[in-house]
């Protein structure tokens, strides 16, 4: 079963390079397809800063690196935590399958073994963040995974945006999402995640900063906030490289366990 939500770090990737929408008729599907087309890189490497912020404003910072590689239309991702010491060398692997599902594993140094993430654990918090394992596995942007409807045009943060309602084709952690897509860059500027009944917003993702660098629009910072707790998670992209040589050995359970490419 396809997840409603593909890899959230791919969400970050697809917040980057942006061609122009050529279709004369703008629809929800055409906008979302354009958003998906922005992740055309065959590979990427990103240095990230992840900050956990509780309702009182107290924060904890984590540094990590993420590698992605797409082969035969399937995207694999490895995330390695660099600091602090309490999470250093934690490694997380997502491998996309041909049927649209994802396999996920995590290596926790404290227990010294690889753990497979079961489908039933998809709603659990990823490393104490406001992103779930399901968030880390998928996005709502594939036009064959959700029905996308253009609701209206709206100004957001001084930018013209398309407002798109996306309803999943199959059951998921979210009943729907509302996405504000910048009409110039096709970056998602804001995403509201609704509960399974589609009656209330439970989380919100905001693009805090973006810029044009090395021929691409890239997001510099995004923040996910959980409404009930007031807890939020900020991800800042410190450095990003695309279409670089990539060793497929990084995307294996062997690397996950050993931290070495054989």
What's the CATH number where 35 sits? 2.50.20.10
Domain count, the chain: 1
147 within 8 A of 167, measured Cβ to Cβ: yes
pLDDT digits (tens, 9 = 90+) for 120-173: 666 778 888 999 877 876 554 666 778 999 999 999 989 999 999 999 887 788
Per-residue model confidence (pLDDT) at position 85: 95
Domain that holds residue 12: 8-258
Within a domain: 40: yes
Within a domain: 3: no
Q: What is the mean predicted confidence (pLDDT) over 33-37?
A: 82
pLDDT over 90 at 236, yes or no:
yes
Within a domain: 1: no
Question: How far apart (Å, rounded) are the C-alpha atoms in residues 55 and 259?
Answer: 35
When pLDDT is cut at 50, 70 and 90, the band that residue 257 belongs to is very high
């Amino acid at each position: 079963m396809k997840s409603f939500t593909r890899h959230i770090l791919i969400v970050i990737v697809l917040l980057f390079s942006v061609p122009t929408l050529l279709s004369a008729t703008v629809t929800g599907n055409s906008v979302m397809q354009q958003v998906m087309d922005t992740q055309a890189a065959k590979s990427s490497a990103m240095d990230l800063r992840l900050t956990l912020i509780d309702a009182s404003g107290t924060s904890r910072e984590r540094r990590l690196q993420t590698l992605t590689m797409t082969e035969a239309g399937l995207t694999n991702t490895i995330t390695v935590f660099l600091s602090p010491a309490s999470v250093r060398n934690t490694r997380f692997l997502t491998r996309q399958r041909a049927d649209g599902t994802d396999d996920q594993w995590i290596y926790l140094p404290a227990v010294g073994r690889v753990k497979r993430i079961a489908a039933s654990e998809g709603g659990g918090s990823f490393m104490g963040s406001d992103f779930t394992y399901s968030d880390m596995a998928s996005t709502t942007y594939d036009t064959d995974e959700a029905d996308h409807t253009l609701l209206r045009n709206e100004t957001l943060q001084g930018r013209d945006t398309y407002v798109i309602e996306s309803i999943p084709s199959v059951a998921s952690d979210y009943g729907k999402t509302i996405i504000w897509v910048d009409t110039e860059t096709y970056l998602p500027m804001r995403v509201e995640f609704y509960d399974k009944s589609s009656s209330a917003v439970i989380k919100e993702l905001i693009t805090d900063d973006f810029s044009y660098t090395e021929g691409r629009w890239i997001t510099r910072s995004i923040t996910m906030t959980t409404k009930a707790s007031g807890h939020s998670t900020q991800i800042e992209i410190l450095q990003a490289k695309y279409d670089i040589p990539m060793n497929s050995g990084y995307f294996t359970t062997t690397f996950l366990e050993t931290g070495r490419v054989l």
